[in-house]
Amino acid sequence: MKQKLTLFLFLLFIGVLHAQIEEKMLDGLIQNTLKTFDVPGMSVGIIKDGKVIYSKGFGVRSLHTMQPMDDATLVGIASNSKGFTCTALAMLADEGKLNWDDKVSKYIPDFQMYDLYVSQNITIKDLVTHRAGLGLGQGDLMFFPEGGSLTVNDIIHNIRYLKPENPFRTTLDYNNIMFIVAGEVIHRVSGLSWTEFIEQQIMKPVGMTSSFGSYNRAKSTINKIDAHAPVNGKAIVVPHDWNETANAAGGIMSNIKDMTLWADCLLNNFTTKEGKKLVSDKNIQELWSLQISEKITTKMPYDTHFFGYGLGWFLSDVKGYKQIQHTGGLIGTVTQFTLIPDLNLGIVVLTNQQSGEAFNTITNTVKDLYLGISDRNWLNIYSDRVIKRTAEFDQQKKNAFATSDIYRKEKHLQPRASQFVGIYNDAWFGDVEITQQGNTYKIGCKNSPRLRGELLPYSYNSFIIKWDDRSYDADAYIIFNYDENGQALSARFKPISDITDFSFDFDDLDLKKK
């Protein structure tokens, strides 16, 4: 008996020692990740078998204050808010107040898409599965970047002018605008604003006492990040970026402590610590069932056989286990939320810089530990990838500006101000004004005042737009279409580099001169 007790204590000791070694390993990896990808701060949480086994912050929450980041530091979780939106819809479905297959027009009678058939048939489920036909990020400029003047009702009205890129219900193209519509459905059905519903009906029962449904409601909280983005190769503090009109697509502010509570609730069959079940089994199945899939054309690192979207979450398989995951990204911050229910495992990574490679390094390393994979160094993999991609993007930008420099010297080839200066209009985006100020040309967007910049001659019919806010990394060509007399009739945009975030959906603009 004594020998058995001694063996038990020895094995227990070895287990504790192993856990400590893994913790130290993860601590070191996070610190190296911050340094490698120039991320000022990161917080990481891991929940396994109902217990939080890791909950820490590293680095600083702001390069201005240099205050430390910890597991209570609030971060904009961005599109990880979409899981909350769909949970809210599921709760309303359980109460019999709506059905996933209800037509959107039942709740928003004036809602229209570009196509009449789609307007008449689009359902609540279509809104939150990225299959309505709109392209990647199409329409995002109506709320992105922050500071736009369009209201939720304006955005819902303007959707009718967005010409779809794909046939209805055929393609998974990630889109935020439809979630804004879904948030308005929640408002009209429940009588609460989206923010009120999320805070009162979900966050409060789960115990997420430090979280907020929107950035504005967290303004008085001191322990929150500043956003950071690379400018001239170095991360700097940039303005917070999220428009309140898009809260249902990405507005929540939360931290590791609360997000691990959220993970625990979901892993526990959507049941809170107090025993309250938020969503019925029927609707859990609906939320976490593949609604639209995407083709897998290359070998995936976890032998993935399927990938697609459920209701508010991306779904895939990793080494034979079902994975529920989402990421979130704003200018200056990115986050990742991962669940593997069969392993009773949840991983949350929150950052204050926009490096997806940073959160992938941490999440994949932790997944590998639990999947028994020991021969991969994700930090090196992603570091090499970033170096290669950055070089490609930098060359694209360098080539564009070099061409512009050459063309500016050929002044006789440049278009005259009288040919293109004026006001242009896009039906869904609004007015864009081009003015002459001395020897320079300026561009400004009426409904998105932070989108302003200088025009640099590039060719006989185009300029480079160099945005005043250099953290955007989204400089673009503006290409004019002239009539037979050399007067501009219309204009379109095109990013100069592939690094441009998809929410700068310049390719969807169709500007007509007024």
d(CA 144, CA 489): 26
Residue 127, number of CB atoms within 10 A of its CB: 28
Q: Name the one residue in this structure whose structure tokens are 């939360």.
A: 254
Domains of the chain are 2-376 (3.40.710.10), 390-513 (2.40.128.50)
Element (H, E) at 238: strand 234-238
What is the pLDDT, as a whole number, of residue 7?
A: 43
**Kind of pairing between the strands at 333-340 and 345-351:** antiparallel
Compute the chain's Rg from CA coordinates.
25
d(CA 320, CA 306): 10
3-state secondary structure 67-83: CECCCCCEEECHHHHHH
d(CA 56, CA 30): 10
What is the pLDDT, as a whole number, of residue 20?
A: 52
SS3 414: coil
**Kind of pairing between the strands at 51-59 and 41-48:** antiparallel
Give the residue among 19, 18, 20, 25 at the shortest CA–CA distance from 361: 25
**The two three-digit tokens of residue 451, written as one number:** 């989108």
SS3 216: helix
What is the pLDDT, as a whole number, of residue 8?
A: 42
Q: Name the one residue in this structure whose structure tokens are 């979280």.
A: 211
Residues 72/210, Cβ–Cβ less than 8 Å? yes
- Using alpha carbons, list the distances in angstroms from residue 274 to 179, 207, 311, 360, 435: 30, 9, 25, 33, 61
Cα-to-chain-centroid distance, residue 39 = 17
d(CA 357, CA 370): 20
Q: Name the one residue in this structure whose structure tokens are 């945005």.
A: 467
Q: Name beta bridge partners: 443.
A: 434, 453
What is the arrangement of strands in the sheet containing 333-340, beginning at the earlier edge strand? 51-59, 41-48, 345-351, 333-340, 321-330, 314-318, 307-309, 292-293
The amino acid at 237? V
**The two three-digit tokens of residue 157, written as one number:** 């009205």
Per-residue pLDDT of the chain (514 residues; tens, 9 = 90+): 444 444 444 344 434 444 454 889 999 999 999 999 999 999 999 999 999 999 999 999 999 999 999 999 999 999 999 999 999 999 999 999 999 999 999 999 999 999 999 999 999 999 999 999 999 999 999 999 988 899 999 999 999 999 999 999 999 999 999 999 999 999 999 999 999 999 999 999 999 999 999 999 999 999 999 999 999 889 999 988 778 999 999 999 999 999 999 999 999 999 999 999 999 999 999 999 999 999 887 778 999 999 999 999 999 999 999 999 999 999 999 999 999 999 999 999 999 999 999 999 999 999 999 999 988 999 999 999 999 999 999 999 999 999 999 998 887 777 888 999 999 999 999 999 999 999 899 999 999 999 999 999 999 999 999 999 999 999 999 999 999 999 999 999 999 999 999 999 999 999 999 9
